[in-house]
Amino acid sequence: MPLVKGGNIAGDAFVQVADDAEISADGAVLVSAARLLADPEALLRRAGPTGVVWPNNHDVALLAPWLSRLAAVALVFPSFRDGRAYSQARRLRERFGFSGELRATGQVLRDQFAFMLRAGFDAFEVKKQSDAEAFAAAAKRYSVFYQPTGDGRVTALHRRTQLRHSESAGL
Amino acid sequence: MYAYDEIDRTLIHERVAEFRDQVKRRLAGELTEDEFKSLRLMNGVYLQLHAYMFRVAIPYGTLSSAQLRRLAHVARRYDRGYGHFTTRQNIQFNWIKLAELPDALADLADVGIHAMQTSGNCTRNITADQWAGVAPGEIEDPRIWAELLRQYSTLHPEFSFLPRKFKFAITASEHDRAAIKVHDIGLRLHKNAAGETGFEVLVGGGLGRTPFIGKTIKPFVPGRDILSYVEAILRVYNQYGRRDNIYKARIKILVHELGIEKFAAAVEEEWLGMADSALTLEDADIEDIRSRFFYPAYEKLPQMPDELIKAAHDPKFEAWRRNSVTPHKVTGYAIVTLSLKPVGGPPGDATADQMDAIADLADQYSFGEIRVSHEQNLALPHVARRDLPALWRALDRIGVATPNINLVSDIIACPGLDYCSLANARSIPIAQELTRRFANHDTANLIGRLHINISGCINACGHHHVGHIGILGVEKNDEEFYQITIGGRADENAAVGTLIGPAVPYGEVADVVEDIVEAYLALRARPDELFIDTVKRLGVEPFRERVYATR
């Protein structure tokens, strides 16, 4: 399954480890929510970066105490029709200020890339190779946006305000 | 109507390009039907019994004459020459070809209309009082807010895959014509004690399998905060709404299971956490949207012009005027409702020729503006009263001047088993038969206001729960049967109807309705006691006795 990061197909620095598997001191790992919560200090003390795979029915507020030390949070789309992780992503970015990698996993398809980018995802485990290759084009599909999210894109309301200001400045 | 700016135009064309690409990938086999289904639904494309059905959004029921002409063009060019106006102020075409859909969408985009989110588990068309902006006594034009909500909810990155569909309705009048209490979110514009304009927010109303009347979640949300408050509601619903059972996935079930207090507390917590939200509206933002709405330059005209006094001698004109013409906020003007419920016709249908003719009449008599009501009729919102006789003659010629607005033959009906793959029973032929039974306008006038709503299945697209008389098609041993309720209503006193007795077969529905109406005529306290008030006063029992005594 190709990983898209920074807009391009990239190698995955993280290794997803099973709950009973041993973890090296300096490797980049993705662990389950249960494993992280069982002993977060031990995991986060390691030299290597730690990320967590967070299910879409767990409140992301539970992660708040560890977010500044987590390198990645992987959210899950069991089906592309299950949109819970969009809310989790926005809460992580906008409410809790998470600045690490926010990864979309599960049924991640081309037609959802734009939504995911806007919700704050910056890494994508894409289901189909052809979709991963089309990432850059899909990400540019829209040039205007109605809603403000934490992604910093200029929204319609902002753009209209700017237009009003430039008009009144021109008077 | 609202005039798109460059931002709106860009977005809609980018959307058409995206859908064209999706259709191409589907036809090339790159997308499975399962993957494509959600994508086409979010562009209003259903697979029905015979063909693809295409639902076009008419935001808050407002159309320009150019837009209506373009809908006529779509009906003619891509369909079979007619369209069906729906209970959500949209229009549906029943015979569209998948490969031609992108072209139809592109044609519509040129005049600023689209089919975004007319289906799918996302925010649907924002509906409003069809008389918004012209009704006397309104707080302010609710369409400004409906447009802000339309933009806010269009291609929302967080809420495009909700547990289930999500419907808003908004009104700014004391008398609710938008049925806000049976929507996922109902918004009522009002002023608080400080004279500030804001919203009473209702949540969790809905029909379908489990009808609920919406509950007030917050009595006053200032206008500037409405988008962030709505976002908080949607976020709680998106995370906690049920996804295990499609019939329990609407927000009404979540509100019911949690209780309104707990749900409100969860929303409040989320909302307070968004302090200083980028969604907070500045006055200038609101004025910007308001300035893009067209408001006619009304003339100073007499309320009783000579033309009207002269025409009063024509009883046919008078019957129509009394029934279909309603007061306007400006002296000398009127709101005219066009009945899409001719005797023997399918409710809500209009031919391409009718649409073109109505567009021309709107240009001539209504500043080029047309409205669509959730009762599946049209309206011309700015008619000079002196033009009423001439307009009436023109409307009569094209068959949209049946004087039956709000009367027994002004029936709301879904397409039913004639078109819909979900239906258990036919709706349209039942409606057609009822319009024939009550074809006599004098009798209909004698009966007075009476709303009959018909759904061909439990999904309740025909709003049967809130019909004064509600008719629901069910299937029993491979036969069409109909459950009949009375006492439902969709206005500010919204209530779900009560079953009057056992379901009856197709052939007996019209007889039962006639018997109910006869029972009412016998039971009403005075000639001006409406059907709905008689049912409220007496309950269902006396009706049941009379109607089922001989069955």
**What is the predicted pLDDT for the residue at B451?**
98
Residue listed under structure tokens 């990698």 = A101
Domain boundaries for CATH 3.30.413.10 within chain B: 142-290, 412-548
Using a CB-CB cut-off of 8 Å, the residues of chain B touching A86 are 157-161, 238
ipTM at complex level: 0.96
CATH number for the B142-290 domain, one of 3.40.50.1370, 3.40.640.10, 3.40.50.1400, 3.30.413.10? 3.30.413.10
Whether B144 has its CB under 8 Å from any CB of chain A: the answer is: no
> What confidence tens digit (pLDDT) does each residue in A96-149 have?
999 999 999 999 999 999 999 999 999 999 999 999 999 999 999 999 999 999
- Closest by Cβ to B161, choosing from A81, A147, A148: A81
- Closest by Cβ to A84, choosing from B5, B239, B285: B239
The alpha-carbon gap from A2 to the nearest alpha carbon of chain B, in Å, equals 17
| Encoded tokens for A87 | 């809310």
Asked if the Cβ–Cβ distance from A141 to B17 is below 8 Å, we say: yes
Asked if the Cβ–Cβ distance from B161 to A95 is below 8 Å, we say: no
Higher pLDDT, A37 or B275: A37
Using a CB-CB cut-off of 8 Å, the residues of chain B touching A87 are 158, 235, 238-239
Q: Which of A126, A133, A144 to mutate to test the interface with B (most CBs of B within 10 A)?
A: A144
Asked if the Cβ–Cβ distance from B14 to A144 is below 8 Å, we say: yes
Q: What are phi and psi of B379, to 5 degrees?
A: -145, 150
Q: CA A153, CA A141: separation in Å to the nearest integer? A: 14
Asked if the Cβ–Cβ distance from B161 to A109 is below 8 Å, we say: no
Cα B388 versus chain centre, distance: 26
The alpha-carbon gap from A132 to the nearest alpha carbon of chain B, in Å, equals 14
Q: Sort B392 into a burial class: Cβ within 10 Å, 0-12 / 13-18 / 19+.
A: buried
- Closest by Cβ to B235, choosing from A87, A141, A161: A87
Whether B285 has its CB under 8 Å from any CB of chain A: the answer is: yes
**What is the predicted pLDDT for the residue at B97?**
92
| Residues 287-316 (B) with a CB less than 8 A from some CB of A | 288
Mean pLDDT of chain B: 96
Q: Mean pLDDT, to the nearest integer, of B60-69?
A: 98
**What is the predicted pLDDT for the residue at A171?**
53
Q: What's B6-109's CATH class?
A: alpha beta
- Closest by Cβ to B14, choosing from A115, A142, A161: A142
DSSP strands (E only) in chain A: 3-5, 8-10, 15-16, 29-32, 50-54, 72-77, 101-106, 123-125
Using a CB-CB cut-off of 8 Å, the residues of chain A touching B3 are none
Q: What's B306-397's CATH class?
A: alpha beta
Asked if the Cβ–Cβ distance from B160 to A164 is below 8 Å, we say: no
Q: CA B412, CA A87: separation in Å to the nearest integer? A: 37
**Residues contacting residue B293 through CB under 8 Å, at least 6 positions apart:** B1, B2, B3, B133, B141, B143, B144, B147
Residue listed under structure tokens 């529905």 = B509
Asked if the Cβ–Cβ distance from A86 to B11 is below 8 Å, we say: no
How many other CB atoms are there within 10 angstroms of residue B100's CB atom?
16
CATH topology of domain A3-140: TIM Barrel (3.20.20)
CATH topology of domain B412-548: Sulfite Reductase Hemoprotein; domain 1 (3.30.413)
Asked if the Cβ–Cβ distance from A87 to B158 is below 8 Å, we say: yes
**Residues contacting residue B486 through CB under 8 Å, at least 6 positions apart:** B468, B469, B470, B497, B498, B500, B516, B535, B540, B543
> What confidence tens digit (pLDDT) does each residue in B437-453 have?
999 999 999 999 999 99
The CA-based angle B301-B303-B305, given to 5 degrees, is 80
| Encoded tokens for B193 | 């004690």
pLDDT confidence bin for A170, thresholds 50/70/90: low
- Closest by Cβ to B39, choosing from A82, A111, A146: A111
Asked if the Cβ–Cβ distance from A80 to B273 is below 8 Å, we say: no
How large is the C-alpha radius of gyration of chain B? 23
Residue B49 has pLDDT above 90, yes or no: no
**What is the predicted pLDDT for the residue at B295?**
95
| Encoded tokens for A149 | 């999210």
- Closest Cα in chain B to A89: B158
Q: Which of A56, A128, A141, A146 to mutate to test the interface with B (most CBs of B within 10 A)?
A: A146
Say what angle helices B251-258 and B226-240 make with each other, to 10 degrees. Answer: 80
> What confidence tens digit (pLDDT) does each residue in A17-56 have?
999 999 999 999 999 999 999 999 999 999 999 999 999 9
Whether B11 has its CB under 8 Å from any CB of chain A: the answer is: yes
* Category of B16 on φ-ψ map: left (φ > 0), alpha (ψ -120 to 50) or beta: alpha
The answer to whether the CB of B126 falls within 8 A of the CB of B146 is yes
The alpha-carbon gap from A37 to the nearest alpha carbon of chain B, in Å, equals 21
Asked if the Cβ–Cβ distance from A84 to B238 is below 8 Å, we say: yes
The alpha-carbon gap from B525 to the nearest alpha carbon of chain A, in Å, equals 54
Whether B284 has its CB under 8 Å from any CB of chain A: the answer is: yes
Cα A3 versus chain centre, distance: 12
Residue listed under structure tokens 């920074």 = A6
| Residue extents of the structural domains in chain A | 3-140, 143-171
Q: Mean pLDDT, to the nearest integer, of B238-261?
A: 97
**What is the predicted pLDDT for the residue at A96?**
96
Q: Mean pLDDT, to the nearest integer, of B52-65?
A: 96
Long-range contacts of B417-423 (CB under 8 A, 24+ apart): B417/B49, B417/B456, B417/B473, B417/B480, B419/B48, B419/B49, B419/B50, B419/B53, B419/B94, B420/B48, B420/B49, B420/B456, B420/B457, B420/B461, B421/B47, B421/B48, B421/B49, B422/B457, B422/B459, B423/B456, B423/B457, B423/B473
- Closest Cα in chain A to B238: A84
> What confidence tens digit (pLDDT) does each residue in B323-370 have?
999 999 999 999 999 999 999 999 999 999 999 999 999 999 999 999
Whether B441 has its CB under 8 Å from any CB of chain A: the answer is: no
Mean pLDDT of chain A: 94
% of chain B exceeding 90 in pLDDT: 95
Per-position DSSP letters for B93-104, written without gaps between them: EEEE-GGGHHHH
The answer to whether the CB of B247 falls within 8 A of the CB of B239 is no
| Encoded tokens for B188 | 């009522």
The answer to whether the CB of B401 falls within 8 A of the CB of B320 is yes
Using a CB-CB cut-off of 8 Å, the residues of chain A touching B282 are 161
% of chain B exceeding 70 in pLDDT: 100
**What is the predicted pLDDT for the residue at B275?**
72
Q: Sort B220 into a burial class: Cβ within 10 Å, 0-12 / 13-18 / 19+.
A: middle
> What confidence tens digit (pLDDT) does each residue in B84-101 have?
999 999 999 999 999 999
Q: CA A136, CA A113: separation in Å to the nearest integer? A: 9
Q: CA B462, CA B515: separation in Å to the nearest integer? A: 22
Whether B5 has its CB under 8 Å from any CB of chain A: the answer is: yes
Asked if the Cβ–Cβ distance from B7 to A149 is below 8 Å, we say: no
Residue B197 has pLDDT above 90, yes or no: yes
